[in-house]
Structure 1
Amino acid sequence: MSSATFFQIQSFIILALMVYGVTQSKKRKKHIKIMSSAIIWDILLILQIELNRSAIDKALEVFQSQTALKIHLFFAVSSVVLYFAMIISGRKVLAGDRSFIPKHRYLGITTLAFRILTFITSFYAAAKPIIN
């Protein structure tokens, strides 16, 4: 199995875990464990990809790269930034500030949408261009 396939499988499992975690939002402890695990695993996956493929070097060359990679990079970086916003808002909700629940929910929907788009665009970004 190639490293790209292994990364895609992990990415799919992480995404499935996130979707399941969202469905468990009424069960606070379970929701927190699932979502925390998914976020940590996703960040570890990014580190795996970086160590294997030098993804940051590719990202630095993004302005000379294919459009698919630029789009993927936008969603991937945004997802990580949104993870931190989710953690901050989630901790406020956990501390008892119920006014953050709508913000946390909106951030959650946005984060999940960006993570789904990261997954979809990863197939295009990882594809090698066909040279005629």
Structure 2
Amino acid sequence: MLIVVSTVAVLLIFAGWKFRKRAEVHIPLMVSAFVIDFSLLLYIEWTRHAIETLQTDVSTAASEWLLYFHVLVSAIMLVLYWVQIGTGIRLAKGKEVSRIFHKNAAYAFLAFRLLNYVTSFFVA
């Protein structure tokens, strides 16, 4: 079930990217993806106690590095989400912010979100 929800978020992100030049479509898609992703993160923490599990219950060395990699990728992804939200809000309000920075940060965000998605299959 969690993979289905995560897949929906990824699809919304790519739809938002496709409509990046149409703010009236882009913004609701990206906000929806963020709400889904953040809700998924909270759900996983509340039901699996993911942070506590990370600190105490890593079973094998092979899975340990992948789990830590997944957590690192996820943390960077969350930071990039906030970068995108902050610069996106400023752009939407017509305030001075670099569109090139927002665009380049979007590419980094997409890469980290895809890494998060792929590694989630191996750490579930």
TM-score normalised to the size of structure 1? 0.84
**CA–CA distance in structure 1, aligned partners of residues 113 and 47 of structure 2:** 21
In structure 1, C-alpha distance between the alignment counterparts of 2:33 and 2:101, rounded to whole Å: 20
1:78 & 1:61 partners in 2: Cα distance?
Answer: 22
Unaligned ranges ≥5, structure 1: 1-5, 127-132
Instruction: Give the C-alpha shift of residue 74 in structure 1.
Output: 0.7
* Ranges of 4+ aligned residues in structure 1 off by more than 2 Å: 58-65
CA distance in 2, matches of 1:13, 1:113: 17
1:49 aligns with 2:26: no
Structure 2 unaligned residues grouped into runs of 5+: none
CA separation of 1:93 and 1:55: change in aligned 2, threshold 3 A: same
Report 1:32-111 matches (<5 A): 32-61=27-56, 66-97=64-95, 99-111=97-109
- Per the TM alignment, residue 99 of structure 1 is displaced from its structure 2 partner at its CA by 4.5
Over the matched positions of the two proteins, sequence identity in percent amounts to 30
Superposed CA RMSD: 1.8
> Normalised by the size of structure 2, how large is the TM-score?
0.89
The question of 1:120 aligning with 2:115 is answered no
Could you tell me how far 1:98 is from its partner in structure 2? 5.8
> For the structure 1 residues 62 and 101, does the alpha-carbon distance in structure 2 shift closer, same or farther, using more than 3 Å as the test?
farther
Quick one: structure 1 residues 98 and 25, their matched pair in 2 at CA, closer, same or farther if it must change by over 3 Å?
farther
The count of aligned residue pairs is 121
